[in-house]
Structures are given as C-alpha cells and as structure tokens.
Amino acid sequence: MFVLVNLKTYPCDPVAVAEAVRDVNESTDARVAVAPQAAHLERVAETGAETWAQHVDPIDYGSNTGHTLAESVAEAGAVGTLINHSEQRLKLADVDGAVEAAERAGLETVVCANNPAQIGAAAALGPDAVAVEPPELIGTGTPVSQADPDIVEDAVEAAQAVDADVSVLCGAGISTGDDVVAAGDLGSEGVLLASGVAKADDPTAALEDLVAPL
C-alpha cells in the first residue's frame, strides 16, 4: 500500500513531517512518501524520506519563467510527482506533456482526476498511477471510500480497462488506518492524504495510525 502525504502549502514544518515519514516507512510494509512545496524539496529529500513533487509543468529547458521544470525537481531529490491535482488542474494536453516531462527526468508519476471517466482518460496517457479524488471531499475528513465507494471501484475498473499496468490510488478525506484499509478493499493500491498528517499535532502518531492495520 502506497501512502503519499501532500503537504500542500500548510504551515507545517516540512522537515519534521519528512522525518516522521522516513521513520514510519522504515517500520511498516507500506510505502510512505511525502510531497512538500517545491522550495522545500531539497531539504525534505536530505532527511532520507521518499520525496515527491506536488507538480511539474509540461516544459523543457528554456524561457519558462515561473514554471516548474521536471529535471530541477529530480535534481532536488524528488523521485516522483503529482500531476493535475484538483488544486492545480491542467488541460488534457498539458497533463500529457507533464507526464512526458516527468518521465524524461526519471520521475514516477501519479495523475489525479475527479471521477472514473477522467481516470480512464488519465490512464491512457501512460502514467505510473492515477488517483481519484472527488474535490468536494478534500479536507473534509469524510473519506471517499465511505462517502461514495462506487467511485473508487469504478475508477479501478476504468483504469484497468485502459491499461492494467496503471495503479489506482484514491484520496479525499483519508485520515485513519480504517480509511486506508477500506480503500484497499475497494481495489485501491494506495492513498493520497494531506491535512490528516500535515495539520496533525504529532505527525508520527498520525502516520503510525494510518499504517497500523496494514
């Protein structure tokens, strides 16, 4: 089970969360990683935690002021990147370009989408994984596996119908170990979460709770 913690722009200590991710990852069979802001990638990667970017742009070296270059993300220590998160949406052609840019830089990719139909379209672009996240549930504490489990099952079916090698993750409202288990029971191979760890008083305890049932 893959647990990817997105720190968004929450006012947390990214290094402290990364150290918690590193320590918990070493004590569980689950794979635990963290996605800090771009400015914090290098510091987070230096902790030894598996580090992901929150976004890369569909660009190459050149005149791209204000954009995020996949190669720079990789050089900072990231091993993968989210693409098309609901808070950083892209046009389909740009999702395709971002996946290509990430692959060019040797980054693993998770393309986010809102529903099963979009999951099928995203899977056709050849990412390593896709993640279904209904935006209305993000940050609510109500997991998608509880609010609408059919979305997860349908997303798994949609991705497998296009490319059986693309893994399916789910997110939105994930905050407990029971939520992670429920996601797995529905066919998900991992979860995305943010506030459940990034806003926790004790990130280590929050992560330990997430992986304890696995």
Q: How far apart are CA 80 and CA 131, in angstroms?
A: 14
Q: What separation in angstroms does the CA of 12 have from each of 9, 22, 126, 170? A: 8, 16, 33, 23
CATH code assigned to 2-211: 3.20.20.70
Q: Which residue in 85, 87, 136, 189 is the catalytic one?
A: 85
Count how many residues are written for the chain: 214
133 annotated active-site:
yes
pLDDT digits (tens, 9 = 90+) for 179-196: 899 999 999 999 999 999
Annotated binding residue 158: no
67 annotated active-site:
no
Annotated binding residue 195: yes
pLDDT digits (tens, 9 = 90+) for 16-57: 999 999 999 999 999 999 999 999 999 999 999 999 999 999
pLDDT surpassing 80 at residue 139: no
CA 178-172-27 angle, to 5 degrees, is 45
**pLDDT > 70 in the chain, percent:** 98
pLDDT surpassing 70 at residue 140: no
Global pTM value = 0.95
**Structural domain spans, the chain:** 2-211
